[in-house]
Chains A and B, each alone.
Chain A
Amino acid sequence: MKQKSKAELWIAFAAIALIYVAVTVLEQTVDSNHIIFTVLKKGAIYSLVAVSMNLLNGFTGLFSLGQAGFMLIGAYTYSIFTMPTEVKLTESVYKYYEAAIKFDTGIFVGLICAGLAAALFAALIGLPVLRLKSDYLAIATIGFAEIIRAIFQWDVLGPVTNGANVMRNYLDLTDVKIPFTDIAFPPTLYVFLASGVCIGLIVLLINSSYGRAFKAIRDDEVAAEAMGINLFKHKEMSFIISSFFAGVSGALLAMYQYTVQAAQFKSAMTYEILLIVVIGGIGSVSGSLIASFLYIAASEWWLRGLDMGKFLGIEAPNLFRSGFRRFVFSIIIMMIVLFFSKGLMGDKEISFAGLVRRFNKRAKTAKGGGIDG
């Protein structure tokens, strides 16, 4: 049995390595303006935030809807920290305020600080909020996300957050360099590495004894408490860790977008992430990954035509006009919610052994059918 699981692990590593090699090769061969890179980068960023939301909603059973708020904190912390001091001192970004923070850090420090800032807020918010249950928790976390958005747009804090104005000219994906050299790091690979490492950490956490405690809380709070699990401590821990990674993904989103503005992080964004988690299956990391890439690919690439007047070769500018894509999309999502409430993966993970088993089963039934016929 142990031998087998070791083999599984190697296969998983090989598959992951293969993905990275594929991304690297793709990036060296295909024109960098191709839409596939948008999909890959944004998909990787959304994967990270979807997995972090899944850690809370799927593995700990806390229905939290504050993800956009934590992404906002991450994005802003990152942009404030990595904006070069020269830029801060001129009027190009801080036009109406005098920048209060007069130092700048590198990308890596910026990413870590983004996560830490989000985690710190989460720790504070968690104290009152995590005592609430299900829908009250949901509405309170939405509320906090809105409060965070209001705070970041407040003009009194303008010297730090630039008020409601756009943040730009910070270090973005094109500024990433290979360490100790001046050669640009392939941007898509960088996003994949950053979110890959984070998702890996989350998976390790889920499989640790803490992760088992989270799942116990999800399945039955009373029983978990009777087993000696400190409910509040574990909920707070899950909340803080999830927010940390949401903050990092917010920072990555800021890097990808070149500009960032608080108004972007509305509760609609959280809903979008929640729907990705639901499509992938609540409680399945691999489901969230697949769903993120599918969602982004469909909305940015495959269904583009629905907005542009031409789809699948049919031209109907009156029907396929701006906004139709999202309309069709939300209908598909409703179908999934109503009829496939388990999502793509349910609460299972993708595994090589599982695929083999399914394949064998199918082969067997096919054979059986042959004999009967």
Chain B
Amino acid sequence: MLDFLHANLSYFLSGISVGGQYALIAIGYTMVYGILRLINFAHGDVFMVAGLMMVYLSTALPVTIAIPLVLIMTVVLGFVIERAAYKPLRTAPRMSVMISAIGISYLLQNAALYFTGGLAKVYPAIPWLSQSVTIWGSTTKMVTIVTPILTIVLVVLLTLLIKYTKVGMAMRAVSKDFETSRLMGIRINSVISVTFVIGSFLAAVGSILYFTNYASVTPISGGMPGLKCFVAAVFGGIGSIPGAVIGAFIIGIAENIIKGGTSIFGFGGSGWTTFSDAFTFALLIIILVVKPTGLFGEKATDKA
């Protein structure tokens, strides 16, 4: 076991780091779904746009100013998307809202395609995060170690926010029962906006960590991570924040081991690489069929 761990350490490390980045995105999905019952298909693209903003801003500004600016602008983007594309459809059928989300995703991707000219943009090296370090014989970037720690800190802060503040209490109430909480005088729209703001903020943090690792941003680099993070949220039980985090770590690690895929299954070497994405969806289908509420989900009514 220890030998296996040592031989595949680099995959485990990158798995943990990718898992942390996925966790930050997955929280955005799970919170929005918990409150609006909407798969926010545009969330992955917001994450991609945050990456592109960093690319463009860092050419003109020093990193210390660019990072906070990226965070703020992503938050604004998330807020605007909610107000423009989801709020007018509050009373429409759920399918229309989902179609609107798909439309926004299409719009963001095409906008990115236009502004970048379809080329992959090189992500700026962030001084301290991009340093190499060596752990137990395998070399990796500093970001690999920072990610899980930062993720856990942010998750703890978020949990405290939800447990002990007034906004958090309102969020919990809205996700329990939309109509009743409105009757109780909770301002639904501001609660939803706060949810989107938090989700986008975490996605922006995630994008800084993720793209530091992957070094380039393309208009479609948000799609796949986006879908995977939704799967992570479903896997952990939608609406549950710790569930999303654990689901994301599991998916991140499993995916990287499949990518490495030395001889774990005794078959096919690199042949499994094509399946690193497919694995995630296979996991999704299995969990939906076997335990639709996910690992930590409460008994919901409308899933299967």
Q: How far is the CA of A267 from the CA of B268 in the complex (A)?
A: 27
Does A322 count as interface, using CB distance less than 8 angstroms?
yes
Find out whether the CB atom of B114 lies under 8 angstroms from the CB atom of A324. Answer: yes
Find out whether the CB atom of B277 lies under 8 angstroms from the CB atom of A150. Answer: yes
Does A368 count as interface, using CB distance less than 8 angstroms?
no
**Inside 8 A of B277's CB, which chain A residues have their CB?**
146, 150
Does A131 count as interface, using CB distance less than 8 angstroms?
yes
* Docked complex: A155-191 residues within 8 A CB-CB of B: 155-156, 164
**Inside 8 A of B38's CB, which chain A residues have their CB?**
135
Looking at A132, A133, A267, A323, which has the most chain B CB atoms within 10 Å of its CB?
Answer: A323
* Chain A 277-310: CB-based contact to B (< 8 A → 1; otherwise 0): 0100010000000000000000000000000000
Contact of A128 among B95, B220, B281, B289 (CB under 8 A): B289
Chain B residues with a Cβ closer than 8 Å to the other chain, count: 50
**Inside 8 A of B85's CB, which chain A residues have their CB?**
334, 338
Find out whether the CB atom of B278 lies under 8 angstroms from the CB atom of A135. Answer: no
Which stretch of A90-98, A250-258, A268-276 is in the interface? A268-276
Does A331 count as interface, using CB distance less than 8 angstroms?
yes
Contact of B103 among A132, A153, A330 (CB under 8 A): A330
* Docked complex: B97-156 residues within 8 A CB-CB of A: 98-100, 102-107, 109-111, 113-114, 117-118
**Inside 8 A of A330's CB, which chain B residues have their CB?**
103, 106-107, 110-111
**Chain B binding surface SS class:** helix
Q: How far is the CA of A142 from the CA of B231 in the complex (A)?
A: 11
Find out whether the CB atom of B304 lies under 8 angstroms from the CB atom of A131. Answer: yes
**Inside 8 A of B234's CB, which chain A residues have their CB?**
136, 139
Contact of A275 among B106, B288, B292 (CB under 8 A): B106
Does A10 count as interface, using CB distance less than 8 angstroms?
no
Contact of A150 among B113, B220, B278 (CB under 8 A): B278
Does B227 count as interface, using CB distance less than 8 angstroms?
yes
Find out whether the CB atom of A139 lies under 8 angstroms from the CB atom of B303. Answer: no
Which stretch of B53-61, B86-94, B198-206 is in the interface? B86-94
Does A112 count as interface, using CB distance less than 8 angstroms?
no
Contact of B39 among A139, A143, A144, A334 (CB under 8 A): A139
**Inside 8 A of A128's CB, which chain B residues have their CB?**
285, 288-289
Q: How far is the CA of A321 from the CA of B289 in the complex (A)?
A: 47
Q: How far is the CA of A341 from the CA of B93 in the complex (A)?
A: 11
**Inside 8 A of B292's CB, which chain A residues have their CB?**
132, 136
What's the least CB distance linking B99 to chain A, in Å? 6
Q: How far is the CA of A135 from the CA of B38 in the complex (A)?
A: 8
Q: Nearest residue in A to B227 (C-beta to C-beta)?
A: A142
Contact of B94 among A135, A272, A275 (CB under 8 A): A135
Q: How far is the CA of A63 from the CA of B96 in the complex (A)?
A: 11
Does B302 count as interface, using CB distance less than 8 angstroms?
yes
Find out whether the CB atom of A268 lies under 8 angstroms from the CB atom of B89. Answer: no
Contact of B110 among A150, A327, A337 (CB under 8 A): A327
A-B contact pairs, 15 of them (CB 8 A): A132-B304, A135-B38, A139-B231, A144-B281, A146-B277, A154-B271, A154-B275, A156-B271, A268-B109, A272-B106, A275-B102, A323-B117, A330-B106, A330-B110, A337-B103
Chain B interface (Cβ < 8 Å from any Cβ of A): 37-39, 84-85, 88-89, 92, 94-96, 98-100, 102-107, 109-111, 113-114, 117-118, 220, 223, 227, 230-231, 234, 268, 271, 274-275, 277-278, 280-282, 284-285, 288-289, 292, 302-304
Q: Shortest 10 CB-CB distances between A and B: which pairs?
A: A143-B281, A150-B278, A323-B114, A330-B107, A326-B110, A147-B278, A327-B114, A330-B110, A323-B113, A128-B289
